[in-house]
Amino acid sequence: MVTAEVAEAVPAQTPEDRFDAVIAAEQRIEPRDWMPDAYRATLIRQIAQHAHSEIIGMQPEGNWLTRAPSLRRKAILLAKAQDEAGHGLYLYAAAETLGVDRAELTEKLISGRQKYSSIFNYPTLTFADVGVIGWLVDGAAICNQVPLCRCSYGPYARAMVRICKEESFHQRQGYELLMTLMRGTDAQRRMVQDAVDRWWWPSLMMFGPSDAESPNTARSMAWRIKRHTNDELRQRFVDMTVPQAEHLGVTLPDPELSWNEERGGWDFGEPDWSELTRVIHGQGPCNAQRVDRRRAAHEDGAWVREAAVAYAAKRAAEQAAPAERPTPEQEN
């Protein structure tokens, strides 16, 4: 209505009151608004970690780029890896609106001071892993990310809208790849089952520790950064995935998996949390390799970045030069 914006404008009290009122009204906080230091710090940590995950996430599948079994699969995989890079960049851009520098975040990643999702510390042993990553890992990521589209911080929420649109392709290509393998030979079907066996539990761990062990959840939910607890999202993922596994014809490696009529959801076993702790603290199968490769790529690319700066400086000088040159009239 006519005066809607004005009516929504919060009575000007302290900046903190205004912040709280914006959050309570389900509006978005924008970059130059006042925000509590802890809100800013939480977002920087979460968005940076998310961006790093996208960037590191190119590696497990990148492993198969040169060995994809057909041109079609290779083109799809390339497009997917390119999307991951893009997602990383959307997220770094969102983080930068909070006053951090991308170069600084990269530095923190390659020096091990900031984390990325533990899932990417597992190896991709067969081509079926490419399919399972699309289906389970990207599926879990979608469960996590869809609610982030309504995150209270505007730039993060907008980046997530973009990412979620693209993520759906990732999951579907993975599932289609697995369906193709399942229509193949016994060996191919065993390969799929083996990949599912290895990725199922790490995928469940992607949602983070159980609610009882997640002390920051309550605050993030109060700030509307998070919309659901880790356990809620994990449950949602399991409920979505079980029928997909049945359709595919694979067995999820959890003997405790059973339908709970009473609450209308699947009961499932407890992930091995000590494994998650180990992987987070650097003892996963591929932690060192992932960070080393990222560091090498960054360092090997230094000359390109320098050359681009030198080229830009040269071009700028050339463009400035004609104005300094004397005009024909002056020469005469």
**Nearest approach, Cβ of residue 86 and other proteins (Å):** 5
Report the run of H or E that residue 132 belongs to, with start and end: helix 127-132
| 33 touches other proteins (CB under 8 A) | yes
Angle in degrees, CA 279, 284, 288, rounded to 5: 115
Give, in order, the Cα–Cα distances in Å from 125 to each of 87, 132, 192, 229.
Answer: 25, 11, 11, 32
For other proteins, give the closer residue by CB, 161 or 257.
161
| Cα end-to-end span (Å), the chain | 68
| 316 touches other proteins (CB under 8 A) | yes
| 32 touches other proteins (CB under 8 A) | yes
What does the alpha-carbon distance between residue 242 and residue 129 come to, in Å, rounded to a whole number? 18
For other proteins, give the closer residue by CB, 102 or 227.
102
| 95 touches other proteins (CB under 8 A) | no
**Nearest approach, Cβ of residue 50 and other proteins (Å):** 15
| 96 touches other proteins (CB under 8 A) | yes
Q: 279: how many CB neighbours lie within 10 A of its CB?
A: 21
| 212 touches other proteins (CB under 8 A) | no
Give, in order, the Cα–Cα distances in Å from 185 to each of 70, 180, 204, 296.
Answer: 17, 10, 29, 39
Q: Which stretch binds other proteins (CB under 8 A): 38-46, 154-162, 214-222, 264-272?
A: 154-162
Which of 80, 54, 59 is closest to 122 using CA atoms? 59
Q: Select the residue interacting with other proteins from 40, 45, 74, 102 (CB under 8 A).
A: 102
Tell which positions 286-315 bind other proteins, by CB under 8 A.
302, 305-306, 308-309, 311-312, 315
**Nearest approach, Cβ of residue 81 and other proteins (Å):** 12
Q: Select the residue interacting with other proteins from 8, 17, 104, 213 (CB under 8 A).
A: 104
Contacts with other proteins by CB under 8 A: the residue count is 38
What does the alpha-carbon distance between residue 293 and residue 56 come to, in Å, rounded to a whole number? 9
What does the alpha-carbon distance between residue 104 and residue 52 come to, in Å, rounded to a whole number? 12
Q: Which two tokens stand for residue 266?
A: 């699947």
**Nearest approach, Cβ of residue 295 and other proteins (Å):** 14
Contact partners, residue 24, CB within 8 Å, separation at least 6: none
**Nearest approach, Cβ of residue 87 and other proteins (Å):** 10
> 164-183 mask for other proteins (x: CB under 8 A)?
--x-----------------
Beta bridge partners of 266: 259
Q: Select the residue interacting with other proteins from 103, 218, 288, 296 (CB under 8 A).
A: 103
Q: In the structure, how many helices (H) and strands (E) does the chain have?
A: 16, 2
For other proteins, give the closer residue by CB, 2 or 320.
2
| 90 touches other proteins (CB under 8 A) | yes
For other proteins, give the closer residue by CB, 2 or 187.
2
The answer to whether the CB of 190 falls within 8 A of the CB of 125 is no
Q: Which two tokens stand for residue 253?
A: 């490696």
| 48 touches other proteins (CB under 8 A) | no
C-alpha dihedral sign at 35, 39, 45, 47: negative
Binding site for other proteins (CB under 8 A): 1-3, 6, 9, 12, 30, 32-34, 79, 82-83, 86, 89-90, 93-94, 96-97, 101-104, 155, 158-159, 162, 166, 302, 305-306, 308-309, 311-312, 315-316
